[in-house]
Structure 1
Amino acid sequence: MASFALGSLMATIKLEFLQPNPRVPLDDDTRGSMNPSFKSLRMMEFFLESKPAGGLEMKIRDFALEAEDRIEIQLSNFLLAKDTQDQEQASQQLRQTLREVSKDGSKLLNQCYEEADDDEAPLIPWLSETSLRLQPPKLERTMVGRRHDYLLVKNQLLFGGDEQRVILIVGMTGIGKTTLAASVYEDSSVASHFGVRGWITVSPESNVRQTLHDLLLIVAEPDDETKKRSTRDETLAKQVSKCLEGKRYLIVLDNIWNNKAWGAIRECFPNDSNGSRIVLITTHFDQGSYSCSYDHHVHNMTLPYDHHVHNMNLLNPKESWDLFCSNPFLEQHMEPKLEKLRSGILEKCEGLPLSIVTVAQRLSKCNNIKREWKKVEKELELLGVLEDNTAFTLRYNQLAQHLKICFLYFGVFPKRSVIQVKQLIRLWIAEGFLSPLRHGRLENQAYKQLLQLIDRNLVLIDKRSFDGRIKTCKMHSVLHSFCVREAQKESFFCALNTQQLPRGSFSMFANSCRWLSFYTHKFDYYVLFRTNNPRSIFFFQEDVEISVPFKLLRVVAFAPSSFFQRVPTHLKDLVFLRYLYVTEWFEGLDYVVSTNRNLQTLVVSSKESQPGTPTLHLPCTIWESPRLQHLELGNSYVIDNPPSVVKNNMQTLSWVNPSHCREEVYYRLPNIKKLKIFFKDDLEPSHLQTGRPCNNPITLDNLDYLVWLETLTILVSAGCIVTRLERPIFPLQLKKLRLNGTNFCKRDLALIGMMPQLEVLKLENAFHQKIWEVDEGGFRQLKFLLLEAKQLEQWIVNEESFLYLERLVLKFCYCLKNIPMEIPNIGTVKSIELQQCGRSVVASAKDIQESKYLCRNGNLKIKIEGCEYDES
């Protein structure tokens, strides 16, 4: 992938040599050549974006990968030089390398220009087999399942008013979009309802003229002279529109590849208010492009068409098995044998109809089902599909260059894993996938690119947070296999299962790719590429005994401390780290962090400490990394001293020593957005411990100085007492607040209730009073409330409070008599959940479920988990 390799090279040059005060002093000649060299690379990038370069594209990729290797190796030699003489020699070699890269890049750019002048734009051929494109696929059997989908789409066609309507059937490749549309299209009531029906399967090679000509073949009368092919798109569009005028029509456009294909022809469909319908079948839905009329000159969007989007979901286990057993090739006597394989088949197919049907056909044609299933299982794990995957390849090739690399990156995670979006975005940034924009943060840019992959049904949403943002995502195993295969082809990725390799045999893979991932997979695939130094390592296996070069590593993710303890002498080589995630602190980590000026993310993830577990005090050298943005420590760790300088880049910080909660410290963290504070009785460093009883009060104050803070978590361990000053202590723009063990009083909750931006509040054993009366107008913007209050008996809610509440979770509310009647009357409330609550409040929830309040709020769902608490 030339575009990514080129982008990575440019990011390295910009980071290391074009910033103020670079790590390596350059002479005037070398410094003067850097900007022209960077400009040549940018021109090469534009060339790739405007025109795929074939063989020249491979040359660009190889040039960029090799150039970045050479530059970073020489830069590493300079940074690791032992004395002045070695450093000067390394500096000379680096300057020489930069000049050679600049010269080679200029030569390659000239080749790009020469090839661009020689080539003529290729003509898109008219497809043969017109008749195959202009009819729906033949259905070999009745559609199984999808009854609900079938009725919804059918009703959209037959009912809902006389205005023209565009119906989009959207879903990933192989999910059954075309089968559903064809079943509805052939329905007798649908066929008789429309005067004109037409079906066109759009090819990715089709141009606008061909699609318009196909439409004309469908809508024109058999002897109509307008069927003769026109040379102008405008003429064809007018002819199509004229033929459809006054007629109630149903036109299906199957396999729409991009928004542009629809936008170019939508104006040829007249709206005569007679109930006409257009169905678009696509894997990619961009509502702004599909349903909006877009003026490229004034950038104004209008909505001329009524439209409906029907998203296709994967089948659930029952639907999957019904579809599998409905295969006409399967004989009745085979079902008992297949039942034994049921769990394996359902796991591997993951609800994708294409996989289910193909597996059923394969197993129906064999004598030994068990043996054949082992072959099928291996193919599914390796390839993802059992037949030609051209559709996936075409879909991948349609992606923009910047989306391709983000898509392939999902291969580094194990198959069927749930991925934290927060982690994914930080990794993309650390890898250099995103170019900084003039306005806007990289995190927002990365999130938009994730949304584009989701819109194209290449990535699935797993869970959303309460503000609607995507919290976790995942990838279907079919697409994951495709990712791994394509990333290996591009010489970027290798996945290893060290548990299935003979000891010591994996040293050959150490230099074979840029992303090296260790995870367990049943069937291994090994592809060796030209030698490359790995930039990223991912650990999804424990006790991985492998030695890899450290010199060029940018990302080390989910690494066990045992990995570093086996190679302590190599820690000094880690000079390019941008992202470091380790399972626990290890000796030498403070050196690694303090010497990495490009480090953006540091996560030391320990298991939740139990009461009495001693706190590990970490050195303040952690603060020395100038670009550190995200510092997350398990609650067993604390940094003794606060930062001594302003940390403008810091956005995420946990856990914080309560002694740091001072005005002068917060002024050094002006842009912090997410903060966690942990109050524990042994947080003082050993040399400062004074024998203070753990029940001495600790003051919580000054948080309002953090003017950009959006998320705050405060945890107080048993035995600690936290006091507050009279004035409000929380920043007014705070959106999410979690309090655990704070023992706040009614006055504190009243102040929290007045916070204007607060949307999420979690009160976990945060106050111990028996009555909580919410002030009028309190918590107006709150959408989610978790309330854990073991001693609370009565909860009084004013009608003007909780106006936008969507979800309420009551946890361990043993003594609460009932849920306030005002809560289910809030129109926005979608769910009330009870976890391990007392009998009275459980009975109250059941009454709400069966009473008139449910009628006033049709979306309300009641969920009760755990055993009822028995007061006796």
Structure 2
Amino acid sequence: MAEAAVSSVVQKLGVLIMQEAKELHGVRGQVEWLQEELRSMQCFLKDADAKRARGDERVKNWVRNIRDVAYEAEDIIDTFMLKVSRRRRKKGFFNCIKRCVFIFNELIAKHEVSTEIQGIKDKLADISNRRQQYGIANIDEIGGTSNQSRVQPVIPLLPELQVDKDVVGFDDEKEVIVNQLVDESNKDRLVISIVGMGGLGKTTLTKSIYNSPTIKRSFDMHAWVTISQEYKPIEIVRKILSKITSISEDKLEKDIETLSIKLCETLKKGKYLIVLDDVWRTEVWDELKIVFPDVTNGSRVIITTRFLNVAEFADPTTKPHELRFLNEQESWQLFLNNAFPRQNIATCCPADLVDVARQLVQRCSGLPLALVVLGGLMSTKGKDYNSWNTVATDMRWQYVEGGERCLEILALSYNDLSYYLKSCFLYFGLFPEDYDISETVLCKLWAAEGFFPVMDGKTLEETAKAHIEELVQRCMVQVTRRRYDGSVRSCRVHDLLRDKCISEAKEGRVFEIYNNNATNGTTSTSCDVRRLVVYDEERELETLSYSNVKLRGIFSFKIVKDEWLSATVHGFKFLRVIQLYRSALISEFPSEIKFLIHLRYLGFWESTVKIIPSWIDNLYNLQTIDMRDIRTIDMGYTSIKTISDSLWGIESLRHVNVQFDAYKESMPVPPEMRLIPKNLQTLKVVVAGAWIENVLPKLKNLRKLYIKRVSHSHANALSISLQELGRLVSLRIDGYGVPSDNIIKAFSNQVCLSKLFLSGPFINKEQLPSFSEFPKNLMKIIFEDSELEQDPMPTLEKLPYLRDLKLWSAYEGKHMICSAKGFPQLLSLEMNQLDGLEEWKIEEEAMPSLKYLELEGCSGLKMIPEGLRNVTTLDELKLINMPGELETRIKENSGEDWYKIKHVPKITATYWRLW
């Protein structure tokens, strides 16, 4: 974890040197030296962390010292910037005199920072000498990833997974894979990939398939080779050749060329099945594919891997088999199989142990490896309540027999991460168990923390998104929801991986969880941890008794009060991130916040704050202000009424997400160009006004825009301004007369806009613009309260990339038709409150990709369209508050329309009002 700490400080020092050159005058040389020295130490941290993981206590202390020096350097520079910042924004005659006084103080501060850096030089010299003494090598990962090294020792699978056992779960997946293997109609050589995180059962499932008599009889040659992180192509080729020829490895040729030719020629002589188990790199297949000939005889290669990109690289034409976690019943069965071996699972567990056994099973969260390890442990315990309850009450995986090995297997994926991805991954430990983490919020937090370098041509947020996708590819992060374009919308980590995050974070002082139940209300760990997390607890949290003045981030999932925030912020001058998820009792910005000059991210969710004050521009490093309110005004809560113009003077501002009072009349955005933050990417929610003409076209970097109270009078100005926003991806407009013609035509030649949400009656209700005038790359469209009089489907179905369509009270006509081959990529369709709709026709080959269909409150629609029977891709049909006649017609097996939908796997119908 020291890698991530040092990397973060090096990045911040680089930004500091560029942005604060004037303030650093006189000490810049020393700061640059410090940056270079820490950067050079990064080269040795990869090897040091590997030695530390193997239990070398001396190296462990060395790594800890490096991390501490990095944090000390960060503290010194931040303290210096805090002192000199006081004169930064002083203007006027009297303030000029004050600035002169501050200059003298600044000279003192520079002398102090110079002395302190000299102290760091001495410490680094000592650390460097000890590095040579401990034999720590230079692996050189200054800007790259750990993919360049294979120093991580291979940890074999647990003995429990090395023997053939009955596979629990995955029956359907197993059947599909077996059918692919023995499919006589496909003679091409196939590469079949089984993908999942460590411990999910990839190897166990593959072994059960590989060893089955049906598979053994279907192939002439078989070989199983484990690849893992450390591999040499020549050794893999030698092992495969030895297994299919029964020639001892030591008797085979020594050069790769001869071996490769011999293996390839041997495999050409028959139908072969080769298993490459635990593949970590695309390079493995790239290096080996030449020895697996395709002679169209039905040969197969199976790859097991933790990485989706490995599977997709090996065979882009074959969909990988992504293993899921076991469900509750499957988890129960696997646990009992190991806790009570060779017994009947229906009767093996004593009645008085069932509840505690369920707790243990739940703790494993459906991970087969964890269930096997824990079940094996419980098989050694007495079959009495006290013995089992002792384990369940205070279970720590590292103290469970075999549990440490379980964590080590999971840790392989973590150890393989680059230093900046380690920082990103550990962040998941901040969130409560099973918490759905917003991808958008996570990206902004990572950007504010400065976890990774800026990539050419990409924003910080785009780089962050790429990191999330990489963690998903590595099967370390579970996607809980995806957007219309396939990108991650929310995600989480498995509980055991979260435990890994918390364990590593504690070791590296990355964050700690506040213990509100401690004797004196304080935590027991070190005083220089960088982030603090407060979870929701029953005990009232009046004040935060915490002595660490160097804290960089506060995260609270508990409802907090004004006085709590004031007292907390007052003690932490170096905060970069404040994220309060439940701030309903905070009614105003505490004035103490204005002194947090390092603050990058400010998030008050569900607050009752009404005014963003004029001193907000003191936070001149602020990137994100997020005042979202997930509640409604009808519930008695109000939202922001006034924003000071000074907010828009913060040059670093990138994201503004503020829920305005719906009845606010005044315009919240200032009309002066000099106050416009040029890097602003998110602006929501704002009220329409004269600023649309004067300000909006100058926000060239906007990606997301949400405007309320748009009327006919804004149509021309809005249309002209939107044409200037070439990077806009998402646009939402609410109003009384939404100028759809103007808006859609304004974007007709733009390629970035993918989401359009228009709420309110269209000016031209009779007909939508031609499909050729719509943005070509639209993927999601929402029309709400649009009062359309003509069927919108003939227009919308021609949009080639449309994947998500929602029509909410948007169409008043009686007839609707989806034409043949229309909506070629549509995945989701929702039609709500289309009260006038009586007949809906779906022609053959319409919506060939549709997976989700929701109909709600369409009171005139009495039957399911005939053409729905041809939409074979449909996975889910949801009917809400539809007419009783339709309910009768879709009744399973007996209803007149049942034959139209019987192919749909999931059908739900909810009726709460009679027609």
Equivalent residues of 1:805, 1:829 under 8 A apart: yes
- C-alpha spacing 1:782/1:158, structure 2 compared with 1 (3 Å): closer
Check whether the contact 2:653–2:679 (CA below 8 A) recurs between aligned residues. yes
Describe the superposition over 1:744-790 as per-residue Cα deviations: whole angstroms up to 9, x where unpaired: 44256336873133321111222264866855976454322111127
Q: 1:432 to 1:643 in 2, by over 3 A?
A: farther
**Alpha-carbon spacing, 1:625–1:748, altered in 2? closer, same or farther (3 Å):** farther
Alignment of 1:792 onto 2:812 = yes
Task: Give 1:183 shift.
Answer: 0.7
Gaps of 5+ in 2: 52-58, 88-97, 140-148, 540-544, 884-912
Which residue of 710, 731, 754 corresponds with 2:773? 754
- Given the alignment, which residue of 546, 550, 554 partners 1:533? 550
Matched, 1:414 2:432: yes
Aligned to 2:616: 593
The corresponding residue for 1:72 is: 78
Determine whether 1:710 maps to 2:710.
no
> Residue type of the partner of 1:269?
F
* Structure 1 residue 478: Cα displacement: 1.2
- 1:351-410 deviations in Å (ceiling 9; x for gaps): 222233344444554333476246336426898994522212222212222211111111
SS in 1 for 2:290: helix
* Rounded Cα–Cα distance in structure 1 between residues aligned with 2:611 and 2:792: 50
The CA distance in 2 between the partners of 1:582 and 1:4, in whole Å, is 28
Identify the range of structure 1 (620-629 vs 335-344) with the bigger mean alpha-carbon deviation.
Answer: 335-344
CA–CA distance in structure 1, aligned partners of residues 455 and 483 of structure 2: 27
* Equivalent position SS for 2:578: strand
Residue 793 of structure 1 and its aligned partner are, at CA, apart by 3.7
Q: Which residue in the other structure is 2:641 paired with?
A: 616
Alignment of 1:768-779 (within 5 A): 769=789, 774-775=794-795, 779=799
- Conserved? CA contact 1:43–1:109, under 8 Å: no
1:79-118 equivalent positions in 2, closer than 5 A: 79-80=85-86, 84-94=100-110, 96-97=112-113, 101=117, 104=120, 108=124
Please tell me whether the aligned partners of residues 740 and 765 of structure 1 are also in contact (alpha carbons under 8 angstroms). yes
What is the identity, as a one-letter code, of the residue corresponding to 1:431?
Answer: E
Worse overlay, 768-777 or 670-679: 768-777
Report the aligned-residue RMSD: 4.2
d(CA) in 2 for partners of 1:556, 1:47? 33
Pair 1:7 & 2:7 matched: yes
Match 1:464 to one of 482, 497, 515: 482
Give the drift of 1:603: 0.7
Superposition deviation, residue 337 in structure 1:
4.5
Is the CA contact (8 Å cut-off) linking 2:745 and 2:774 kept in structure 1? no
Report how far residue 186 of structure 1 moved: 1.2
Q: Is the 8 A contact 1:492 1:515 kept in 2?
A: yes
Q: Which amino acid aligns with 2:856?
A: Q
The corresponding residue for 2:700 is 670
Any idea what the Cα deviations from partners look like across 1:23-58, whole Å, max 9, x if unmatched? 85343x534555555444444445546886864544
Q: What residue in structure 1 maps to residue 457 of structure 2?
A: 439
CA distance in 1, matches of 2:79, 2:617: 21
AA of the residue aligned to 2:714: T
Match of 1:828 in 2: 849
1:648-703 superposed Cα distances (whole Å, 9 cap, x missing partner): 201110111211453211133122111111229xxxxxxxxxxxxxxx97534433
Alpha-carbon separation, structure 2, partners of 1:391 and 1:124: 16
Which secondary structure state, in structure 2, belongs to the residue aligned with residue 94 of structure 1? helix
Instruction: Determine which of 223, 228, 238 is the counterpart of 1:198.
Output: 223
5 Å matches for 1:258-277? Answer: 258-277=281-300
CA distance in 1, matches of 2:357, 2:809: 45
- Structure 1 counterpart of 2:598: 576
Distance 1:393 1:49, change over 3 A: closer
State the Cα distance separating 1:623 from its structure 2 match. Answer: 0.8
Q: Secondary structure at the match of 1:440?
A: coil
Q: CA deviation at 1:209?
A: 4.6
Q: Answer yes or no: is the 8 Å Cα contact 2:66–2:127 preserved in 1.
A: no
Q: Could you tell me how far apart the structure 2 residues matched to 1:286 and 1:460 are?
A: 15
Return the match for 2:321 from 282, 295, 310. 310
User: How many Å separate the matches in 1 of 2:225 and 2:619?
Assistant: 57
Whole-angstrom distance in 1 between the partners of 2:13 and 2:805: 48
- Asked if the contact 2:706/2:732 (under 8 Å) is kept, the reply is yes
- Tell me the alpha carbon deviations over residues 467-526 of structure 1, each in whole angstroms, 9 at most, x when there is no partner: 11111111111111111111111111101253x345x52266694411211124899xxx
Q: Is the 8 A contact 2:202 2:323 kept in 1?
A: yes
Structure 1 residue aligned with 2:873: 859
- Secondary structure of the corresponding residue to residue 610 of structure 1: helix
Structure 1 position 807 matched with structure 2 position 828: yes
Q: 1:262 to 1:610 in 2, by over 3 A?
A: same
TM-score (normalizing by structure 2): 0.79
SS at match of 1:449: helix
Per-residue displacement from partner, 1:810-830 (whole Å, max 9, x unpaired)?
A: 112233113232497232333
Superposed, which structure 2 residues align to 1:42-81 within 5 Å?
A: 42-46=39-43, 48=45, 55=59, 57-80=63-86
Alignment of 1:356-395 (within 5 A): 356-364=371-379, 365-369=381-385, 372-373=388-389, 375-376=391-392, 378-379=394-395, 386=403, 388=405, 389-395=407-413
2:416 corresponds, among 385, 391, 398, to 398
The match for 2:213 is 188
Partner of residue 576, structure 2: 554
Q: Give yes or no for contact 1:40–1:106 (8 Å, CA) kept in 2.
A: no
Q: Distance in 2 between matches of 1:36 and 1:726?
A: 56
Equivalent in the alignment of 1:279: 302
Change in CA separation of 1:64 and 1:163 when aligned onto 2, cut-off 3 Å: same
| In 2: Cα distance, 1:129 partner to 1:6 partner | 28
Distance in 1 (alpha carbons) for counterparts of 2:292 and 2:351: 53
Q: Which amino acid aligns with 2:878?
A: I
Q: Give the Cα separation in 2 of the matches to 1:211 and 1:121.
A: 28
Partner of 1:690: none
- How far apart, CA to CA, are the structure 2 residues paired with 1:721 and 1:125? 64
Contact 1:78 1:91 in 2 (8 A): no
2:858 pairs, out of 833, 837, 850, with: 837
| Contact map agreement 2:768 2:795 (CA 8 A) in 1 | no
d(CA) in 2 for partners of 1:240, 1:127: 28
Contact 1:537–1:557 (8 Å) recurs in 2 = yes
The one-character-per-residue Cα deviations of 1:417-437 (angstroms, maximum 9, x if unpaired) are: 001111111111111012112
> What is the CA–CA distance in structure 1 between the aligned matches of 2:383 and 2:743, rounded to whole Å?
79
**Contact 1:585 / 1:604 at 8 angstroms: preserved in 2?**
no
CA gap of 1:671–1:120, structure 2 versus 1, over 3 A, is closer
TM-score, normalization by structure 1: 0.83
Deviation, 1:581, is 0.4
The aligned counterpart of 1:25 is 23
**Contact map agreement 2:580 2:604 (CA 8 A) in 1:** yes
Per-residue CA deviations over 1:803-853 (Å, capped at 9, x if unaligned) read 543321011223311323249723233332112332x425225x444x4xx
Report the 3-state secondary structure (helix = DSSP H, G, I; strand = E; otherwise coil) of the residue aligned with 2:568: coil
Counterpart-to-counterpart distance in 2, 1:597 and 1:121 = 39
Contact 1:255 1:281 in 2 (8 A): yes
**1:642-657 alignment, distance < 5 Å:** 642-645=670-673, 646-657=676-687
Partner Cα separation in structure 2 for residue 317 and residue 129 of structure 1: 29
Secondary structure of the structure 2 residue equivalent to 1:828? coil
Distance 1:614 1:255 in 2: 52
How many residues align? The count is 822
> Structure 1's 119 and 511: CA in aligned 2 closer, same or farther, altered over 3 A?
closer
1:127/1:474 CA distance change after superposition, 3 Å: closer
> Does the 8 Å contact 1:134/1:198 carry over to 2?
no
Structure-1 separation of matches of 2:153 and 2:200: 26
Contact 1:170 1:312 in 2 (8 A): yes
Question: Structure 1 vs Structure 2: percent identity of aligned residues?
Answer: 25
Matched residue SS, 1:145: coil
1: CA distance, partners of 2:855 / 2:384: 50
